[in-house]
Copies of this chain bind each other. A is one copy, B any other.
Amino acid sequence: MSDDAFENSSVGVVETQYFTFAEPPNEMQLENGERLGPITLAYETFGVLNSERDNAILLCHALSGDAHVAGYHSQEDRKPGWWDFMVGSGRPFDTDKYFVICSNVIGGCKGSTGPSSVNPKTGKPYNLSFPVVTIGDMVKAQKSLIEHLGVKKLLSVSGGSMGGMQVLEWAIEFPLMVTSAIPIATTSRLNAQGIAFDEVGRQAIYADANWQKGEYSHTTRIPAEGLAVARMLAHITYLSEESMHEKFGRRLREKERYGYDFSTDFEVESYLRHQGESFIKRFDANTYLYISKAIDYFDLQRDYGSLENAFKNVPARFLVISFSSDWLFTTAQAKEIVRALKVNRKNVTFYEIPSPYGHDAFLMRNPAMEKMISDFLSHAYAERGNHAV
């Protein structure tokens, strides 16, 4: 597709919508034993639900994502949604064929109920009194939204990173509602190194005096510096050493020689600082704590005894994708998922896409990824009647 044609295939201006449910006394039961309600989910939809209501695709976002997966929020808006190149006319999640849904997770800070929301019981923000939610809770809330939209069965669920965890949870917890699943750059459980990086990020937030044990929302101070450190650290894990070398190497930032001070010397320092600074403008520190904790807790082996057991009664067909240079959610971890599906004789296709861009590769245009997903969905759509369960 040429640049112009690509631009013309954009979904254009979209509006975020809101759905509120679990009103007391019908609060949603959470994994930690508590009940939460009312719950609002911010969501966006693209394309049209067909009369058979069987062309719906749910996209699940990663740690710092939101419901705004594609398009623009106004004519002037220059920054499209986080997976814009994947959603539109003729794009892999083809809005001419499919009804595409994306919602902000519970615990989030982009319109869905989370720690910064007002607790109707107290009239004050939840802050740390918000319950610690899990990937399972996120998916359970999404299920209410999907049903509200009149969808009984999803043609597909897809997402990368934490989005991929939600994909796995959907396929396992609501097997009759998922025709196909596309988990990307994800894992069935975070390894010790991943938990360690998350914990250091949280410690950076706790260490910020402006965090005030989470009670900052009514003050004039927010834990911006702690959150920026957490983001900078996480960002290193989203890139590969190879891509950092390519992009920055040891190049100096607007200077010929070392500064011999603690200002910025290297391009890579400047880039990271920019990543931290832009993140704090759009993200909430408490939500960062909650979502990173949900990621740490995700563990299908723990929940189901074994990964083989987790997939036992899952009818969905799978397309599992990993990226060669992703060292956070590795190909070896993707293969664990594939192996468990194969042991259960499930319909699974696996691709390790060669890419130098590390974990972030799933957020970047990649012809191989786009074609695989496009073809897989076309096939699932064509076959959808033949796989009734």
Chain A residues with CB under 8 Å of chain B are 31-33, 128, 131-132, 189-193, 195-197, 199-200, 202-204, 206-210, 225-226, 228-229, 232-233, 236, 239, 241, 244-245, 247-250, 258, 260-262, 265-266, 268-269, 272-273, 276, 289, 293, 296-297, 299, 302
Contacts and interface: CB of A to CB of B under 8 A. Distances in A.
A200 B244 contact: no
Protomer copies: 2
A229 B203 contact: yes
A207 B225 contact: yes
A236 B32 contact: no
B269 A199 contact: yes
Contacts of A228: 203, 207
B192 A249 contact: yes
Contacts of A247: 192
26 contacts: A31-B260, A32-B260, A128-B262, A189-B250, A191-B244, A191-B249, A192-B241, A192-B245, A192-B266, A193-B241, A196-B232, A196-B268, A200-B236, A200-B272, A203-B229, A203-B232, A203-B272, A204-B207, A206-B225, A206-B262, A207-B208, A207-B225, A207-B226, A207-B228, A250-B302, A262-B293
B229 A272 contact: no
Nearest to A213: B262
Contacts of A208: 207, 209
Nearest to A258: B297
A192 B243 CA distance: 9
A345 B2 CA distance: 54
A174 to B, nearest CB: 22
